[in-house]
Amino acid sequence: MLLSLRKKVAGVFVKGLFGVLVLSFAVWGVGDVVRGGFFGDTVAEVGGLKIEGQTLDQAFRRELNRLRPLNIDAAQARQMGVLDRVLQQLIAQAAYDAETGDLGMTVSDDAVRQDIRDNRAFKNQQGRFDRFQFEQVLRSNGFTEEGYVQQLRRDMARDQVLNNISEGAVAPKAMVNALYRWRAEKRVAETMDVKVDKAAAVGTPDESALVEFHKDNASRFTAPEYRSLRFIHLEADDLAGEIEIAEDAVRKVYDERIDEFTVRETRTVQQMVLADEAAAKKAMGLLSEGRSFAAVAKDVAGQEEDSTKLGAITENDLPEELAEKVFALAKNVNSAPVEGPFGWHIFRVVAIEAGRTQSYAEVKKTLREELAKEQAIEALFKVVADLEDTLGGGATLGEAANQLNLKLRKLAALDAEGKAKDGKAIADLPGQPFIQTVFDTESGSESALTETGDGGYFILKVDGLTPSVLRSLDSIRDEVAAAWRDSQRSKQAKARADTIVERINNGDQLAELSKKFNLTIMTSQPFTRDGTGVRTSLAPAAVVETFGLKKTGTAAVARTRGGFVVVRLKEIRHASSSADREAVEATDRAVRNSLADDLLLQFNRSLQDRHGVSIDSRVLQRLFSDAG
């Protein structure tokens, strides 16, 4: 969560690495690798930093939940190496933290404070840092302010090390040009769609055919695990509509926050910067003769026109001694030379947009809603506390709902995708981690009272579960028979397409084949390997098959949504690396990013060797042998 909350200090190279190494941390919100937990056991240690069992357990369970739609349980996940991969991700991050500690990398309070204030997630609609919003976002993502600041400080320190490594990546020119030509090559294809005939006669499958088809397509006929449950869901929005806010309270907030509703005057400004006063006077003389600002800037200051444009600015965007002069200028008037921190300046204002303050009438509805939301959140905390006390006193979920006048919802069946047995999504479920919690809670047990990502709360009890199971042939005989018939019709269409491809590759003309098989020939626009330029319904698989052909005039077959498509390569258009420098530069950046990722991965391995990594396999086995 933290990585998605803050504006990255790292450059594009570091972002690429963390996409590989620590995606899990961005999704899971695993903050402190060195904290203790309910396990009380260390599973690994990197240079004195400990990775506790609780941290690994949380990460592993999150990954299990992501894999749940594939019907993979904890034992299978361990066999597939999921637990080992998650542990290696934690070790990689700890190695970086150990290095920053040894190097004494620190981040000042001012730098952390500025990063937080610059984070758009913490700004209000006026673009200003909002303390209330800051606290709300942290609370919604499971952070305390102290925990967030500590993690942010570690991330910023780590980025200082990683940027120094990644910025050294250089892409060989020959590699860049070859990759560009490969990517930019275009092809033109002639195609004929061979549709599956849904009315084709394929006969009736006998018992042995049904049994074999049912067995061979077991995953298709397997029902997911379902859980029945009861739950209470609490949200501030449910309470906000019941809260009345007095007019004088809204007016008071407006007066206190008047700066938020004030839009400063904005000016579009040109500037030339000159080395000394003599050059500034020379420029002023030329301007007084009627020469254009851009021409004088180029001749005297050596500035191209684009570099003279400051764009739209407010007074806060300039040093105080310059801002006063610029914002006193009339439109289309050149300023007198003024000395600033970087030399002598001449300004010209080309547009003025007056500032204004939104009236109380314009913003009072929004303010009233904000105040109601704030009070609703406070009221929500009171309800949550009452619910915890009631449950702590021994009340069941149903009894607590009755006592506190809360709604208790019941679900007869819920799968890991939030669907009922009819395959339809269940509406108005609490936000994550609700479904994850449902499937992490044992049957017959209650979950803890849990906060959702949007600031709500829920508590649930799993009443029972229906395991994932292959539905018996007898229970779905008609469904299996219909699927068998569809597969036979698909085989017929595939055989027809294969015959056409064979005849094309043996020299038959496409026009003759289109008449014989009553098919329409379509010619594509030129397209690249990634499908750019495709303007027809050419399937992605057909694009791949087209680029798999070695010479023009040859053909292949690809699967489409409604059947198959025959593709015949009509033309190859080779790319020249000298024709599109912008695209070549983009390829260069992509190669450098990839090389930087490789460098960082190698660097991480060297850090692990330097700081030392120890994994306690006995603790790992004891804690996770029955995980799930």
Question: What was the pLDDT predicted at 140?
Answer: 65
Give yes or no for a contact between 16 and 593, defined as CB atoms under 8 angstroms apart: yes
Tens digits of residue pLDDT in 378-387: 888 888 889 9
DSSP 3-state percent helix, strand, coil across the chain (nearest 5): 50, 20, 30
Q: Please provide the average confidence, as pLDDT, over all residues in the chain.
A: 84
Question: What was the pLDDT predicted at 5?
Answer: 35
Q: What is the 3-state secondary structure (H, E, C) of 408-455?
A: EEEEEEECCCCECCCCCECCCCCCCCHHHHHHHCCCCCECCCEECCCC
Taking the C-alpha atoms of residue 192 and residue 557, their distance in angstroms, rounded to an integer, is 10
Question: What was the pLDDT predicted at 58?
Answer: 75
Q: How confident is the model at residue 7 (pLDDT cuts 50, 70, 90)?
A: very low
Question: What was the pLDDT predicted at 24?
Answer: 33
Q: How confident is the model at residue 32 (pLDDT cuts 50, 70, 90)?
A: very low
Taking the C-alpha atoms of residue 573 and residue 394, their distance in angstroms, rounded to an integer, is 75
DSSP conformational letter for 472:
P
Tokens of residue 120, six digits: 């758009």
Determine the 3-state secondary structure of 168 from DSSP. coil
Buried b / exposed e across 372-385, counting CB within 10 Å, b at 16+? bbbbbbebbeebbe
Tens digits of residue pLDDT in 53-70: 888 887 788 787 777 666
Taking the C-alpha atoms of residue 276 and residue 272, their distance in angstroms, rounded to an integer, is 12
Q: Which residue has the higher pLDDT, 11 or 155?
A: 155
Determine the 3-state secondary structure of 322 from DSSP. helix
27 exposed, middle or buried (CB, 10 Å; 0-12, 13-18, 19+)?
middle
Beta bridge partners of 450: 458
Question: What was the pLDDT predicted at 15?
Answer: 35
Tens digits of residue pLDDT in 566-614: 999 999 999 988 778 888 888 888 888 888 888 888 888 888 998 999 9
Question: What was the pLDDT predicted at 156?
Answer: 86
CATH architecture, domain defined by 2-169+602-624: Orthogonal Bundle (1.10)
Task: Compute the average pLDDT of residues 9-31.
Answer: 34
Question: What was the pLDDT predicted at 196?
Answer: 95
| Residue 168 reports pLDDT greater than 90 | no
| Residue 468 reports pLDDT greater than 70 | yes
| 226-239+374-467 and 265-354 have identical folds | yes
**Nearest Cα to 397, choosing from 449, 470, 475, 356?**
449
Which residue do the tokens 């869901």 mark? 233
Tokens of residue 553, six digits: 């005039």
CATH says 226-239+374-467 is which class?
alpha beta
Q: How confident is the model at residue 480 (pLDDT cuts 50, 70, 90)?
A: very high
Determine the 3-state secondary structure of 482 from DSSP. helix
Tokens of residue 409, six digits: 């919802």
Q: Which residue has the higher pLDDT, 484 or 244?
A: 484
Amino acid at 310: L
Question: What was the pLDDT predicted at 71?
Answer: 66
Give yes or no for a contact between 231 and 430, defined as CB atoms under 8 angstroms apart: yes
**Nearest Cα to 23, choosing from 78, 63, 52, 56?**
63
Q: How confident is the model at residue 30 (pLDDT cuts 50, 70, 90)?
A: very low
Question: What was the pLDDT predicted at 28?
Answer: 32
Q: How many CB atoms lie within 10 A of CB 172?
A: 11
Question: What was the pLDDT predicted at 29?
Answer: 34
| Residue 219 reports pLDDT greater than 80 | yes
Domain residue spans in the chain?
A: 2-169+602-624, 186-222+476-573, 226-239+374-467, 265-354
Q: pTM above 0.85?
A: no
420 exposed, middle or buried (CB, 10 Å; 0-12, 13-18, 19+)?
middle
| Residue 229 reports pLDDT greater than 90 | yes
CATH says 265-354 is which class?
alpha beta
